[in-house]
Structure 1
Amino acid sequence: MEKNHLKGFLTFLILAVLLAFSLGSQAQQKQISGQVVDQNGVGVPGVTIIVKETTVGTVSDVDGNYSLLVPVDAGRLIFSYIGMVSQEIEIGNLTTINVTMEADVIGLEEVVAVGYATRMAGEVTGAVTTVTATNIEEMSVIDASEALRAVAGVTVLESNTPGAGASIRIRGLGTINDNNPLWIVDGVPGGSVTPNNIESISILKDAAAQAIYGARASNGVILVTTKSGRKNQKAQVNVNVKQGISRNTNYYDLLNTQEYGEMLWLEAKNDGVTASHPLYGNGPTPVIPNYIRPAGASTVDLSLYDDKMLHEDGTDTYLIMEANKIGTEWMKESDRDAQFKEYTVDLTGGSEATNYAFQVGYMLEEGIMKYTGFDRFNLRSNITTNPVPWIEIGEKIGVTFSQDYGHQGDNSEGSIVSWAYRMQPIIPVLDVMGGYAGTRAEGTGNATNPVFLLDSSKDDLTKRMNVSGNTYIKINIMEGLSVRSLFGVNYSTRHSRNPGFVEVAEAERGKYASLSEGASFSMQWNWTNTLEYSKTFADLHAVTVMLGSEAIDYTYNYIDASRSQFFSKDINYMQLSTGLASINNAGGMNSWSLFSTFGRLNYAFANKYLFEGVVRRDGSSRFGGDNTYGIFPAFSAGWRISEESFMASTGNWLDELKLRGGYGTTGNDRIGNYNSYTNFAISYNNSFYPIGGANNTDGATGFYQSTFGNPDVKWETTKTTNFGVDGAIFNNLNFSFDVWQRVTSDMLYPKQIPMVLGRASAPSVNVGEMKNQGFDFELGYVNSALNNELKYNINFSISHYKNEIVSLSDEEGEFLSGQSNREMIYTRSEQGTSFPEFYGYVSEGIFQTEAEAAAWPTAFGAEGTYNEPGHYKYSDINGDGIINSDDRTYIGSPHPDFTAGLNFNVSYKNFSLVAQFYSSYGNDMINYTRRFIDFVQFQGGRSHERLYESWGSPYLANNLDATLPKAEGDDIDSQQPSSAFIEDGSYLRMENLRLSYDLNDLLGNKFRNLQVYGQVTNVFTITKYSGLDPEVNVGGANLGVDRGAWPTPRQITFGVNIGI
């Protein structure tokens, strides 16, 4: 009984205190109301109105109206909105405050994500560039990485394979290893996000901005913020529908069937032999046959065609084809006009306490190569709520389901592009029985019909699912002091199924059908906690301090298997359990973890002198012993000269002038998860030990050392210095200029080890140093005319970097080589060069006379064989009188002198036009495909130049005008990497052209917005490069080597945006 009385009394006491506090609070408050409008007098919804230096605030409603209870002694109200200039209004005795907000055309009030926090653009002292949702919408990109194209200092290389992302490089190549930047989506590393979900992208380009991410930041950091609703916003529905087609616009100029025969006869003439060919005969001129028959096939009765794969006795089938006398254009037979579709629906809104944003979307992107494509279905939910004014709880979660199908392209000899130019024009697509034709007959080469490859790969399917997002809570403990805790997840799964079919169309084929399947899943979680205190003292000293910790854990599991000897081609009956031979299984897991503590201090005096200091301490499971932890500090400072009293006279035209500089250290931990440890492995059916005098491969399973460990390896460290200036004048012209240098030391490199140590691979060791330096410049101009009916803006950017390997190792003469391409290596790097550069012989042209050839130093030890008219003439670099490997030197660079971008946007009344350009200048390229089409690398298609512009061609009036050596059957001119294969890779491309019209006025403004548009991407390209596309997505040691990449298609789309 006493306990109940006591409980009742305490309840009464608490209620009484709360009531008294509430009444007291009411007595000390007053109400302020008003409306916020733009320059045209239209109400602005979603404007944040807050009492300065407090958490008391509200948001304007859909008509721009607001009402707010403020303390009676409140001093100022701050009105802020993205894209508009913030305003501070003295409250005094006012109870009604109406505000007109102006557009922030110079971006000083733009909110910039800087890593675990946001800042106003005018407060930022590091090198940071922001891409907004409006920019992304104008570009109409499929992948988020494509939206970074016009950012100064950022290089974007498209793959052009459906669904594949682009390669991103920020300020050159900073290491000989992985140069990919770190992506953070809503506070979660990695993850999948569609462009329509993005509110903004911040690119952190120098260490002052990057160091808050420590060991993962040396290649740059890209912060993605997804869209959210606004408080006090009525529910809004946005629908975006667009459809279009993609089309290839560039093809190799190859010989037709008749010209191909002429070329063969020209080769024989230059070789000094009588012309003879299994298909074209042995007469004085080539004769195109009616049919192409392999040996043993009937020459009379086509009904004897045998459509079996293989006879039971193992002999080949007969493959009879009707010769294509005009010539098969294999690239055009392989590609198509590809469909593109995208549909998205957004729902956004909010109440006084909660805002929300939901999206559902679907996209289909067919590949320009037949039977290839990618589709994606995505969902997103972003919700933020304040259950009480001092607590904020939120979640941002995205789910993506995607699948790609068909033959996926790459930059290699195995690409469809490569197979297309390696097929002869005389071969038809189909044989006489309607099956796919091939190269089984003598004289047809060894390529595989690319149309067959595409068709037989149409059932290749890879399905992916990704769930990424976060949930967080933020507590405002007191004025200026808050704590935030975020838990993020990035979960992905993959399942692939690739049946393989054997057809007579394949030149080098197996005996049976096969099946490969694989599955994997990865799970990453991160728990990030920050404590932030912000206070302005005496209206002069603004201080913000943040302390934080972060834990990350990642696990990856996979399993792959393959079987062959399926007698049925029906994919429904092909299962791993029914394959009788070639049993291969693989699987495994790996994991890593990271624990970090970090802090940041921001100080501003009188909003003129800015300082920021950052330090992060990372501990990674990838490093052992004393190297587990690394410390990464950085600092930066800024001086807003335009805020000085002595600049007061410039106030009518100078809006902003800020100098800034910074220095800091970041790291790179991408060396694999177990580099510190010696690893062992097993292999089915291989003992790896001589049992009975030889390796036992009949059912024995061996245990062997696969890698050596290096417990002494440590972080790759990058030190960056950056100086910049930001300016804005006349409220319509802004610019930013940065000069920078970054030096990477202790580069992680798998050093070669002696063969006597066995088959184990070498671990990464810390060797060498690389330096990059350059500048970035951005310029923006905004203006209007004709009573504001004509509006336009121009944005220009230009960047330059220079890359140099300062040192590679302690061993003299150490160098790095690129990928070997049929025993030819085109790139090399060593101390004092860039990473990489092209390496080979210097071609001084073509020998014209016997006397000239005889007087030249003997080449390659082949006296009297190579030095003759019509062959390349190579420089004797060392002057020893012979041409050999000692005369190889650096012959070109894939690094551009500069890259530039230009965006132009003009609107008149309801019309709007957007045009975007991109250029790369001064970079060289190796067109590896020329080994196949300009020379005799296999018996495939040949270029127009080989017949009409080669030395000794009957179509050439003067051999001095020859662009190629003489056409020969042995083709010794293509067997050496030389400057003859170096081409100027510079180009200017019109990336995007978009015309839109707003129909809302015509329909009586029944919609919030209604816009129709048409758009063309890859409008045109101006270049001297002879390949299909000067933009090739390949990096590292093979930068600039084109081995058959898919070309960039031209896409034409039409769409409608509806806002309800």
Structure 2
Amino acid sequence: MKRLLLIGFIISLATMLFGQQVIEGTVTDAKSGETLIGVTVLLKGTAEGTVTDLNGKYRLSSPLMKDSSVIVYSFVGYSPVEIIAGSQTRIDVKLASKEYNLDELVVIGYGSAKKRNVLGAVSTVKNEDLTRLPVADFTQALQGRVAGVQVTQNTGAPGEGVTVRIRGSGSINSSNDPLYIVDGIPTSNALNILPPGDIESMTILKDASAAAIYGSRANNGIVLITTKKGIKGKTKVTYSGQVGIQKVANLTKMVNTKDYITIYNEAATNDNAFLPEALQRRLITQEDAANFADVNYLKELFRPAPITSHALTFSGGNETTNYLISTTYFKQQGIIKSTDYSRGTVSINVNTEASKWLTIGLSMLAGISNNNVIGSSGDGAGGNGGSVIRYAFFRNPAIPVQFENGTYVDRPAEYFGSQIYDSFLGDGYNPIGMTAYNDNNQKRDSYLGKTYIIAKLTDKLKFTTNFGMDYSSSSSRRFSPTWGTFGRINGVNGLSISKVRSANWTENNLLNYDTKFGEDHTFSAMLGFEAVKDNAQYLDASDMNFPVQDENVIFLGNGLGIKTVSQGVQSSTLASFFGRVMYDYKQKYYISGTLRRDGTSRFIGNNKWGTFYSLSAGWEVKQEDFLKDVKWIENLKVRAGYGAVGNQNIKLYADVDNLSPNYNYPIGGTSNSGYVQTALGNPNLKWETSYQYNGGIDAELWKGALALSIDYYYKITGNMLVSAPNPPSTGYAEAAVINSNGSVLNNGIELEATYRHKKTDWSYSIGGNLTYQHNKVLKLDAPQRDGLIETGTYATLTAAGQPIGAFYLLEMDGIFQNETEILTSAIQGQSGSIHPGDVKFKDQNGDGVIDSKDRVYLGSAIPKLVMGINLSANFRQFDVTAFLQGTYGNKIYVQVNQDIEGYYRGFPVTQRYFNERWTGEGTSNTQPRASWTAKSNNALPSSRFLEDGSYLRLKNLQVGYTLSKTVLKMIGLTQARVYVSGSNLYTLTKYSGLDPEMTVSDNSKNEGDRANGIDWGTYPSSMTFMLGVDVTF
């Protein structure tokens, strides 16, 4: 019996072994023909698979293999290939690089198209580029990645957003932010919760040819975001984790206590020479300084701060249904004390083929965030705004941080016991105390959801319907406690609470038709309808004068002071009809056109509806007979397009008069409250319309080793929504009214290039992009002064003939060296107020007097060049990447230096000023003498405080190691990679401030792009070191 069983077992085993189908082959690069190492060869729907060896060869054997089985070949950076096994015993495969696969699908407006059919200026950023940087906001990862796209981080504070400009700023008073669309649903609320790791790709539509399908929302460009979806096969579990440490990258060098005493006594001596004895300052003596400290307040303000990120993803599916579930957690402590940001998200994507003709799907993203913030810039109205960084610049190093009992020192007189020390050392707030007493929290819950149905009506006709909801609920709570000497800081404490809820929905219905006539003609058409409704509610409340500063009793209603409350709602709607046609002949000649008709509630009467359109053409020159035999040219394509897109991003209800309550009317000798008209509406408002031209060339040379793309764009935004002066005689409180009477030009050149070289076990690539951009206001009824740097004083002027937000300043012409030079120069200030060592200004109009008429254009915050450089190399299982980005030709107005180097008050000065200051004839021509009385001349808004903001930054350097299949099998993993990376490692710049990038201050929030490039001493970016791991089970 045992023998029979043994014989039966052997026969069964032999049958199983010899019954397995075996397929062998080699996988090579479709362009170069070189073999590819480590290509995954998988039997679809199973866990059976293998990888190619050092010679690109593989051998796949499985008892599950049938003639109908599908084999999937996949490799990083290449488009996957699926082949039916059949009865084949050998299958050789060529994989095409994703970058150069002309049949690869590219996401476009309301659909996708083959790369060869795309005629507009379109750029795509892949997931691997988005996840290299340790950022909370995925838009930060766009920086330097795409030509024509400038990304500027607003501040380095945790949870802070970025400013994105696609092909410049086209509007003066309206928003210049692009439209973000996630899986077909427009969103603004979900941007701060969408994890970079959940994104499959981002496609940027830069010109009208690509973006006009979005009509009135396309003026500033479109960012199309495609999230990851599940794939068929057994459940795959992926974990990605990062832990790291952050530190401040650069500190402005300030004088120490010894040098401060020197500069103080020098300034006092200089001023005393021209002051009556009663007004003269007393010098600091050695006895006065006996108990002085020596504190570097900037250094004390910052700290090393941890950062961590975790993501866990489950994906899989069968022949009809696939799914992906992802959960993430991100936490970042700020490099400034008392600041941090945390976020948790959950996302679900499910897609199922209910039948051969019907597909339904669902996607959801939900997230919560918590952010502790602190003032770190100006207030946007010419004041300090509670900025701890500004006060760190202002705080004298001689003042200790704390008393012996641990309480924070405020005024120096309180510590040293005499009022004279306030005169010696100034009265700037203690920034370290400000962080300790900071109580400013922001919370947000966000949700983005979408359901869709796709019905395949015929082989050529498909109907799609989408419905999406973009929801957000945010709240902020800020308590400003009373503290400091005699309670001078926040003399009356106060609590403010704000709540905002936004619920926006979008529905669109699409009908797509695709056909081919014979072998030469390909045609596709799309018709669509879309409805959008945006709703928002807000509530603001405040209370003051809490007798006890205890968190257990600090609630609205418990204060003894003035209580305020305001509430509001707003709503807008958009209805749209649109269509697109695409045609090509022999994949050689291409033409495409779009048309959209939008109607919005933001305008009234005949201006409610607008029409937007585009027309583009392409020529695949390589397909012509005269180039077919030119071997070194792989592909050569010429593109051109023209279109008109719009902008409706103005404040709501600008077309009607606005009323405000609580206005006092004296009637019969008594005061009566009532409403007053505060803003004059303009019923003739209409769409901003941008007319755009684009021409481009795409080329692939030497079997795709070198890829080039160059575009020229020219766009004029007309009927611009601008603020026009409102005469006081009208009686309206607001000094401006919105009209449609302005225009702006943006034009430029974009270049993208990538060179790749691959060998058997190593490869490298060098890529980069460069954008030259030019901005000019063509028409504006009245110039607009912005960039408020102190009460009534502005740094920028937006006027016809110059860029938006141009710096209009006096031009410094050196330092007066002697009295003769003063007497022979234009008159500055009041008679007798100018002395040797003071700043000399150019008399631009030659009238012999220096005044506001001598202000001239001295540059702008808009860079002439924006660039990015990508370097990567692979050797067997090791990989290294480096990414650099920067700008050239932009200016920064260093407002914080205007205060500390301009002797605004008794503040310390920079070491630069100390070293370069004028101390006698011929000693300096860059920095004036030490003086408080000369600040009315030396601290005037001028080129003295305007610096070159150009920089080149090593944004990221990463080194990784991918575990071998042998090791993975031993530890039970499918794939694993570990890496170390550093961000913001080095910045090459002439700029003297903390960070040349962080100059989008609170002025910009109030005044838009008209006030960019003003540095109030803004929260800088951090240098970050990370350890990361990516594991697949």
Q: Please indicate, yes or no, whether the TM-score normalized by the shorter chain is above 0.5.
A: yes
Asked if 1:147 corresponds to 2:121, the answer is: no
Question: 1:364, 1:277 → 2: CA distance?
Answer: 59
Distance of aligned partners of 1:605 and 1:546 in 2 relative to their CA distance in 1, 3 Å threshold = same
Q: What amino acid is the match of 2:800?
A: Q
Partner of 1:186: 183
2:512 matched residue in structure 1: 532
> What displacement does 1:1013 show?
1.0
TM normalised by structure 1 equals 0.86
Q: What do residues 179-221 of structure 1 show as CA deviations (whole Å, max 9, x unaligned)?
A: 1111111111112311010000001000001101110110110
Contact kept, 8 Å, 1:83 with 1:109, in 2: the verdict is no
How far apart, in 2, do the equivalents of 1:62 and 1:634 lie? 53
Q: How does 1:194-593 map to 2 (within 5 A)?
A: 194-231=195-232, 233-273=233-273, 282=282, 285=285, 287-289=287-289, 323=291, 325-412=292-379, 413-414=384-385, 415-439=387-411, 441=413, 442-443=422-423, 444-457=425-438, 459-504=439-484, 508-593=488-573
Say whether 1:741 aligns with 2:714. yes
Pairing 1:591-610 to 2, within 5 Å after superposition: 591-610=571-590
Once the two structures are superposed, residues 273-318 of structure 1 have per-residue CA deviations (whole angstroms, 9 ceiling, x without a partner) of: 499999x99468454345xxxxxxxxxxxxxxxxxxxxxxxxxxxx
Q: Distance in 2 between matches of 1:1010 and 1:1042?
A: 44
Per the alignment, do residues 575 and 1004 of structure 1 end up closer, same or farther by CA in structure 2, a change over 3 Å counting? closer
Residue 166 (structure 2) pairs with residue 170 (structure 1): yes
Matched, 1:102 2:120: no
Q: Is the 8 A contact 1:1000 1:1007 kept in 2?
A: no
Aligned-pair CA distance for 1:95: 8.2
Q: Please give the alpha-carbon distance, in whole angstroms, between the structure 1 residues aligned to 2:362 and 2:77.
A: 25
Q: Which residue is equivalent to 1:884?
A: 851
Is 1:977 the counterpart of 2:965? The answer is: no
- Kindly provide the amino acid, as one letter, of the partner of residue 865 in structure 1: S
Deviates more, 1:824-833 or 1:717-726: 824-833
Sort the Cα spacing of 1:926 and 1:752 in 2 relative to 1 into closer, same or farther, 3 A. Answer: same
Pair 975,392 (structure 1): closer, same or farther in 2 beyond 3 Å: same
Letter aligned with residue 488 of structure 1: G
C-alpha deviation, 1:910, in angstroms: 1.5
**Contact 1:265-1:286 at 8 Å conserved across structures:** no
Q: Name the CA distance, whole Å, in 2 between partners of 1:456 and 1:598.
A: 55
Q: Report deviation, 1:1002.
A: 6.2
Task: Report deviation, 1:388.
Answer: 0.8
Moved more, 248-257 or 722-731: 248-257
Q: CA shift at 1:47, angstroms?
A: 8.4
Distance 2:956 2:79 in 1: 30
1:849 aligns with 2:818: yes
SS of 1:618's equivalent? Answer: strand
1:79–1:109 Cα change, 3 Å: farther
Partner of 2:31: none
Which residue, 904, 909, 914 being the options, matches 1:937?
904
Measured in 2, the distance between the counterparts of 1:563 and 1:473 equals 50
1:799–1:545 distance in 2 versus 1, CA, 3 Å: same
Pick aligned residue for 1:1044 from 995, 1017, 1023: 1017
Asked if 2 retains the 8 angstrom alpha-carbon contact of 1:241 and 1:1057, the reply is yes
How many Å apart are 1:114 and its aligned residue?
A: 0.7
Q: 1:681 deviation in Å? A: 2.3
Q: Is structure 2 residue 991 aligned with structure 1 residue 1025? A: yes
Gaps of 5+ in 1: 1-31, 49-60, 71-76, 291-322
Residue 597 of structure 2 is aligned to residue 617 of structure 1: yes
Q: For the structure 1 residues 118 and 134, does the alpha-carbon distance in structure 2 shift closer, same or farther, using more than 3 Å as the test?
A: same
- Cα distance 1:574–1:545, how it changes in 2: closer, same or farther (>3 A)? same
8 Å CA contact retained: 1:46, 1:62: no
8 Å contact from structure 2 (residues 963, 977) kept in 1: yes
Check the 8 A contact 2:576/2:599 in 1, yes or no.
Answer: yes
Counterpart Cα distance in 1 of 2:297 and 2:319? 63
Q: What code does the residue aligned with 1:992 have?
A: N
Distance 1:408 1:1014, change over 3 A: farther
**Aligned 1:482-881 pairs, distance under 5 A:** 482-504=462-484, 508-650=488-630, 652-683=631-662, 687-691=663-667, 696=671, 701-729=673-701, 730-761=703-734, 762-785=736-759, 788-809=760-781, 814-860=783-829, 862-866=830-834, 868-881=835-848
Aligned residue pairs total 956
Q: What is the Cα deviation at residue 854 of structure 1?
A: 0.9
Pairs within 5 Å for 1:956-967: 959-967=922-930
What 5-or-longer segments of structure 2 have no aligned partner? 1-20, 29-35, 46-59, 414-421
Alignment of 1:37-52 (within 5 A): 38-39=27-28, 40=36, 42-44=39-41
Question: Could you tell which deviates more after superposition, 712-721 or 438-447?
Answer: 438-447
Q: Secondary structure at the match of 2:654?
A: coil
Higher deviation after alignment, 246-255 or 799-808: 246-255
Does the C-alpha gap of structure 1 residues 543 and 736 become closer, same or farther in structure 2, counting only changes over 3 Å? same
The verdict on how the C-alpha distance between 1:398 and 1:864 changes in structure 2, with shifts beyond 3 A counting, is: same
How far is 1:381 from its partner? 0.3
| CA deviations over 1:92-117 (Å, ceiling 9, x no partner) | x9989946131315243432111110
1:230 corresponds to which letter in structure 2? I
- State whether residues 131 and 197 of structure 2, in contact with CA within 8 Å, keep that contact through their aligned partners in structure 1: yes
Residue 426 of structure 1 and its aligned partner are, at CA, apart by 1.7
- Secondary structure of 1:582's partner? coil
Distance in 2 separating the partners of 1:828 and 1:572? 49
State the Cα distance separating 1:142 from its structure 2 match.
2.7
Distance 1:507 1:592 in 2: 46
Indicate how the Cα distance of structure 1 residues 937 and 539 shifts in structure 2: closer, same or farther if over 3 A, else same. Answer: same
| Greater alpha carbon shift after TM alignment, 1000-1009 vs 250-259 | 1000-1009
Supply the distance in 1 between the matched residues of 2:850 and 2:275 (Cα, whole angstroms): 32
Moved more, 752-761 or 382-391: 752-761
Alpha-carbon distance in structure 2 between the residues aligned to 1:542 and 1:855: 78
Q: Distance in 2 between matches of 1:578 and 1:44?
A: 69
How high is the sequence identity, in percent, across the aligned residues?
A: 32
How many Å separate the matches in 2 of 1:63 and 1:555? 57
Q: Report the CA distance between 1:654 and its aligned residue.
A: 2.1
Computed over aligned residues only, the root mean square deviation of the Cα atoms, in angstroms, reads: 3.0
Distance 1:536 1:332 in 2: 68
Instruction: Give the residue type in structure 2 aligned to 1:1032.
Output: M
Q: What TM-score results when the alignment is normalised by the length of structure 2?
A: 0.88
Alpha-carbon separation, structure 2, partners of 1:81 and 1:678:
61
- After superposition, the C-alpha distances for 1:610-665 in whole angstroms (9 at most, x for unaligned) are 11100111100001000011000001111111122332212x43221100010001
Which string of whole-angstrom CA distances, capped at 9 and with x for unpartnered residues, describes residues 376-421 of structure 1?
Answer: 0000001111011211111111001001014153455322211111
1:323-363 per-position Cα deviation (integer Å, ceiling 9, x unaligned): 5x242211122111111011110111121111111100101
Deviates more, 1:526-535 or 1:891-900: 891-900
State the secondary structure of the residue aligned to 1:264: helix
Distance across 2 between alignment mates of 1:519 and 1:909: 54
After superposition, the C-alpha distances for 1:122-171 in whole angstroms (9 at most, x for unaligned) are 22100000000111123343311112112111111112111111110111
1:440 Cα deviation after fit: 6.7
SS in 1 for 2:100: coil
CA distance in 2, matches of 1:423, 1:200: 47
